[in-house]
Chain A
Amino acid sequence: MTLKKKIVLIGQSGVGKTSLVQQYVSESFSDNYLTTVGVSIKKKSLILDNQNISLIIWDLAGDLNYGSTYDNYIRGASGVLLVADGTNTSSVEYATSERRINHPSIQGIPKLLLLNKCDLKPEWRSNINDTSGIKSLLTSAKTNENVANAFEGLCSLILTGQKK
């Protein structure tokens, strides 16, 4: 049996949500920035712990302040990737803010914090201060570092949560 799981990517505009999905699903990367409007939904099949999983990936626009509510998009998710850009401190605050992490629609479900653009490490600010306590991972959509680990790590957390 195939398990269908919805996951959502949340984070400020420009942090690399779409790039991470594109790298994971299509193994490609572009330096051009084209902002996402609304939501883009991609599907990826994988096998984890002998379990067939159909991962439904919801890549949300960084700014969702028009049209149907944010709530409508994130409802029913089994896991969340909170994405921040390591070269941009405010994006870390954004991703780990109380109102995002503890939003009623995603409360208590597995979450991973991705500090993306780790290929730009020399540029990383020394003042990144994440006190959210959420498990984090350094990723690069550009070099493909930890990209599969991010998605599959979240899946593992989802499966583990289910067995309990």
Chain B
Amino acid sequence: MNNDFVTYSKKQLDEWAQKKLKPLFIYTNSEKKIEHIIGDFNEYGFELKVGDSISENLPFIDALLPIQDDELLLDYIQTPNHQYASIQIKSYLNGHVIFITNTTKHAHEIQEIQQNRNELCLAMNKIKDLLYELNY
């Protein structure tokens, strides 16, 4: 693998690690086998080693491959152990480079706001429909 790329990736991982985003870097080849893996994958509820197949071990990522454009970025995606991750995938050579960071904390904040709003919305709709019924 290109050295600049590895250097850049390591630097990126360090930065993310400092932000406690539990970064994970995976490089898979054309057969979707892992060739490189750096980071703390236990955080995400799976165990991986070089040579493992993405199809067998990470179905939620396998579902995204091959990507359709050069790059795919998903901000909140649920992982097998109910954490949330931001996933960035790039095509590289014949395989894929996958960056994962943990966005659980932020996702939970969004969830709380969203949940309140949606429950309110559901109640409002119900009231609206009941009013409609009353009038007709």
Which residues does A use to contact B, with CB under 8 Å?
6, 13-14, 33-35, 37-41, 43, 56, 61-63, 66-68, 72-73, 75-76, 87-91, 125-127
Contacts and interface: CB of A to CB of B under 8 A. Distances in A.
Given A38-B76, A63-B114, A72-B74, A56 B63 contact: yes
A38 B63 contact: no
B76 A37 contact: yes
B129 A125 contact: yes
B44 interface: no
Contact of A61 (B68, B72, B114): B114
A6 B114 CA distance: 26
A91 B125 contact: yes
B73 to A, nearest CB: 5
A68 B72 CA distance: 10
B78 A38 contact: yes
Given A66-B110, A90-B125, A37 B84 contact: yes
Contacts of B129: 87-89, 125, 127
Given A14-B118, A43-B63, 16 more contacts: A14-B122, A33-B115, A38-B74, A39-B74, A63-B117, A66-B75, A67-B76, A75-B69, A76-B68, A87-B129, A89-B125, A89-B132, A90-B128, A125-B132, A126-B133, A127-B129
Contacts of B75: 38, 66-68
Nearest to B119: A33
27 contacts: A6-B63, A13-B122, A14-B119, A14-B122, A33-B115, A35-B111, A35-B114, A35-B115, A38-B84, A39-B74, A40-B78, A41-B63, A41-B78, A43-B60, A56-B63, A62-B118, A66-B75, A66-B110, A68-B74, A68-B75, A75-B68, A76-B68, A87-B129, A89-B128, A89-B132, A125-B129, A125-B132
B48 interface: no
Interface residues of B, number: 31
A24 to B, nearest CB: 16
A67 B111 CA distance: 13
Interface string B27-49: 00000000000000000000000
A11 B76 CA distance: 18
Contacts of A34: 111, 115
Nearest to A58: B63
A54 to B, nearest CB: 9
B59 A72 contact: no
Given A125-B133, A127-B132, A41 B77 contact: yes
